Amino acid sequence: MNSKNTVTIGYGLLLLALIAAPFLGAYPVFVMKLMCFALFASAFNLLLGYTGLLSFGHAAFLGGAAYVAGHAIKVWGLTPEVGLLLGTAGGALLGLLFGWLAIRRQGIYFSMITLALAQMLFFACLQAPFTGGEDGLQGVPRGKLFGVIDLQSDLVMYYVALVIVVAAFLLIVRTIHSPFGQVLKGIKENEPRAISLGYDTHRFKLLAFVLSAALAGLAGSLKTLVLGFATLSDVHWTASGQVILMTLVGGLGTLSGPLIGSAVVVLLENKIGEFGNLLAALTSVEWFKTLGESVTMVTGLIFVICVLAFRRGIMGEIIAWLAQRRAGSSAKH
């Protein structure tokens, strides 16, 4: 039983499904939103699951980049790929600034600094005239990619987005499996030992932070392009909380975890109303209809259950269970 083959087949199937999705009747805009959040969660997981740093302000990179990209495309009239690049660069720069300040401290203090900095960015976005404050940055045009490919059509936008997200995800995979990624894991396991081995852990952590922020920025910029707006919800601390939830539910420190986790959380938010109506129709229990208004409640419940019982997340549990089975079956021989 080759687990590596299984994993590759699994990803292959997923990719096929995504390629075929619009033709199977899926709403492209919704799937694109899913992909953006999957990228956001994967970028966050790079920092938390693989480097062991819990950032409480990751929304700053998602939203900050979203505004930068939106502004570049709408106001400066730049083409989408330049807008995305600028957004990603914006995310990276913010990551450099936040990281440089936060990495001086460890543990909970690190997290608190990221939270404080993210809050400051939130209020800056609230006040700055170019973000549109409460109204948000609306009406960001899709434009023409490289000046040629018209992104107005949802279908074209979809495949472009798919390519970008897959490329970014492959970058993360490459990073994890590289020597750099190994050092990060080492730092997560036991930082003092990594230092004693001669690694400048400070620089490695900062690099991981910037990379994570840049990719989160890419996710945010892409989201702006797809949906056509950037709003304060993208920089609010609840978005930071959401990405933590996605990673936790999916499985910390697994590559596929954030993908599953983000899918679960986004589907939950958007479809719980329909799910409730379905349940109500099936069971004739009227109360299920109000489920649509209880997204917060259900989210909270999942959080609590995950922390108490499913700490490894969905993928984490599956992987552990499979490893156990394999160990059990090999012990028999």
Nearer Cβ to other proteins, position 153 or 178? 153
Q: Is 96 exposed, middle or buried (CB count within 10 Å of its CB: 0-12, 13-18, 19+)?
A: middle
Number of Cα atoms under 13 Å in the Cβ half of residue 239: 22
For other proteins, give the closer residue by CB, 171 or 202: 202
Q: How many residues bind other proteins (CB under 8 A)?
A: 74
| Contact pattern for other proteins over residues 130 through 169, marking x by CB under 8 A | ---xxxx-xx--------------x---------------
Write the CA distances from 16 to 12, 20, 219, 238, integer angstroms. Answer: 6, 6, 21, 33
- Residue 173 as a binder of other proteins (CB under 8 A): the answer is no
Closer to other proteins by Cβ: residue 148 or 309: 309
Among 153, 290, 324, 329, binds other proteins (CB under 8 A): 290
Taking the complex as a whole, how short is the minimal distance between the CB of residue 278 and other proteins, in angstroms?
Answer: 10
Q: Which amino acid is at 121?
A: L
Residue list 238-267, contact with other proteins (CB under 8 A):
241, 244, 248, 260, 263, 267
Q: Are 110 and 102 in contact (CB under 8 A)?
A: yes
Question: Which tokens in the block code for residue 317?
Answer: 């549990």
User: Which stretch in 7-15, 85-93, 175-183, 202-210 sits in contact with other proteins by CB under 8 A?
Assistant: 7-15
Q: Which of 68, 306, 313, 316 binds other proteins (CB under 8 A)?
A: 306
Q: Which of 31, 160, 222, 239 binds other proteins (CB under 8 A)?
A: 31
Q: Choose among 83, 52, 25, 99: nearest CA to 230.
A: 83
- Of the candidates 265, 269, 263, the one whose C-alpha atom is nearest the C-alpha of residue 34 is 263
Residues from 262 through 281 that contact other proteins (CB under 8 A): 263, 267, 271
Pick from 112, 149, 156, 206: which binds other proteins (CB under 8 A)?
112
Stretch that binds other proteins, among 70-78, 87-95, 106-114, 188-196 (CB under 8 A): 106-114
Q: How far is the CB of 1 from other proteins (least distance, A)?
A: 6
Residues near 58 by Cβ (< 8 Å), separated by ≥ 6? 40, 43, 44, 47, 114, 118, 212, 213, 216, 239, 240, 243
Q: Can you read off the two tokens belonging to residue 102?
A: 């936060």
Q: According to CB under 8 A, which residues from 191 to 220 bind other proteins?
A: none
Spatial distance between the Cα atoms of 264 and 105, rounded to a whole number of angstroms: 33
Both structure tokens of 194:
């990594």
227 binds other proteins (CB under 8 A): yes
- Only one of the segments 22-30, 85-93, 180-188, 193-201 lies at the binding site for other proteins (rule: CB under 8 A); that segment is 22-30
Convert residues 113-132 into a mask of x (bound to other proteins by CB under 8 A) and - (unbound).
Answer: x-xxx-xx--xx-xx-----
User: Which residue in this structure is represented by tokens 């600028």?
Assistant: 86
CA distance 146 to 188: 40
Which position among 167, 281, 301, 320 is part of the footprint of other proteins (CB under 8 A)? 301
